[in-house]
Amino acid sequence: MSKVGVDDLLATAGPVALDSLPRLSLTPTLDDAAYYGLAGRIVRAIEPYSEADPAAILLHLLVGVGNLIGPGPHALVEKTPHRCNEFVVLVGESSVARKGQAWSTPRALLEQVDPIWAKVRQREGLSTGEGVIYAVRDARSKKRPIRKNGRIESYEEEIVDHGEEDKRLLLIEPEFASVLQRMRREGNSLSAILRRAWESSELSTVIKNSPDKATGAHISIVAHVTRTELAAALTDVEKANGFANRFIFAQVQRSKFLPEPEPVPDATLSIFADEIRSAASFARGCGEIPRDEAAKELWKAVYTKLSDPPSGLVGSILSRGAAHVLRLSVLYAVLDCCPRVKPEHLKAALAVWDFAESSARAIFGDRSGFSTADTILGALRTRPAMTRTEISDLFHKNKPAADIDRALRELAAAQKVRRVELPSNGHGRPAVAWGAM
């Protein structure tokens, strides 16, 4: 895995690659269908009191509730359970987008529902995979010899670590670019463990000096990042290994200016807390939550589109769309205390995913996810054409020719660049160059 950090990427690929991306003003709009039921009523109550994007408030709330209710409710795909633990990245300008503020009131609300969870089971500062496992680790024991007259007669189990009884863990990560940078350190297992945590409740590593493991883990993440940091830090590795597509990416912005913001009235939050408490109680008795017949028909109609993402980096980011929609639909059903996913729950989940899809297109544009190709394409869009020498100069002549050849082939196959001939000025054959289409 590459050791290149965010600053290095910005220095080498920086303005050339990033300038070709869509501007942040192209912020997608979350359809009203996403504000269905209890979650929607909560967001509508918070929205007048907050400068945060309502979409950001909703996503914080959904991820928070999905973790609080635990691993019981799930959808099944063959024998694979999809629980309500979700990973979300909110993308917006630093401080201006009010990403952190979007968690302020939902956190206070969920603290009323489960104060111990709010205090103990929320963490910041993703660093290593071993650290994640430690936060949800099982109890660990060892055999202690029982001696008599200097001889071992038997053994008894001795607890050496009581572990964590509560396996729920909500990770709030305000510096996602730093997380991506840490993942590139040699030997860091964070990427592998987070990928595993999204899809499984069983976690462990093969590191000799890390004996911890976790069963029944229920891990959720909300991360914040700026668009520039994300474009620079999300590399070919995260695209190829399936790390990025376990996240829902949402582009958000400030909704309004409130010079003297007031808190949501406590009486209002108390009513909502009671409703969420009822949903959490319902969830404790849940197992599989299947679709009803009407929802099955709707699922058939949308499944092909969800399972057939476009090419390039956007397609890679969106390639788990069906799984994300499954999880969100179950969560909307739980908030209704409903044992079946109904069409309204599925429509709400689809609205969230449509927003995620629009966000991915706005954030990543037509980037391939291959940083060499993206840098070349960005440069070609700023001038009529470039020779191979000029393209090599983009990388200070440190990029292998094979990488540049591969990038040009991929760009040409995607019909983003073409070979052009430069005038020879009467001396020899015309020079071959490349131009953007």
What pLDDT is stored for residue 429 in this prediction?
Answer: 66
CA distance readout (Å), 353 to 34, 186, 242, 419: 9, 34, 18, 38
- For the segment 103-160, what is each residue's pLDDT rounded down to a tens digit? 999 999 999 999 999 999 999 988 899 999 999 999 988 878 888 887 888 888 788 8
pLDDT at 327 (0 to 100): 98
Mean pLDDT computed over 298-327: 91
Q: Give residue 313's pLDDT.
A: 77
Alpha-carbon torsion angle 27, 29, 30, 31, nearest 10:
-170
What is the tens place of the pLDDT at every residue in 58-85?
A: 999 999 999 999 999 999 999 999 999 9
371-436: CATH topology is Arc Repressor Mutant, subunit A (1.10.10)
pTM over 0.85: no
Q: Which CATH architecture has domain 21-145+153-364?
A: 3-Layer(aba) Sandwich (3.40)
Segment among 22-31, 277-286, 381-390 with least mean pLDDT: 22-31
Looking at the chain, the domain(s) classified CATH 1.10.10.10 span 371-436
Residue 206 pLDDT: 67
* Per-residue confidence (pLDDT) for residue 54, from 0 to 100: 97
CATH code 3.40.50.300 region(s) in the chain: 21-145+153-364
* 24: confidence class by pLDDT, cuts 50, 70, 90: very low
HEC-encoded secondary structure of the chain: CCCCCHHHHHHHCHHHHHCCCCCCCCCCCCCHHHHCHHHHHHHHHHHHHCCCCHHHHHHHHHHHHHHHCCCCCEEEECCEEEECCCEEEEECCCCCCCCCHHHHHHHHHHHHHCHHHHHHCEECCCCCHHHHHHHCCCCEEEEEEEEECCEEEEEEEEEEECCCCCCEEEEEECCHHHHHHHHCCCCCCHHHHHHHHHHCCCEECCCCCCCCEECCCEEEEEEEECHHHHHHHCCHHHHHCCCHHHEEEEECCCCCCCCCCCCCCHHHHHHHHHHHHHHHHHHHCCCECCECHHHHHHHHHHHHHHCCCCCHHHHHHCCCHHHHHHHHHHHHHHHCCCCCECHHHHHHHHHHHHHHHHHHHHHHCCCCCCHHHHHHHHHHCCCCCEEHHHHHHHCCCCCCHHHHHHHHHHHHHCCCEEEEEECCCCCCCCEEEEEEC
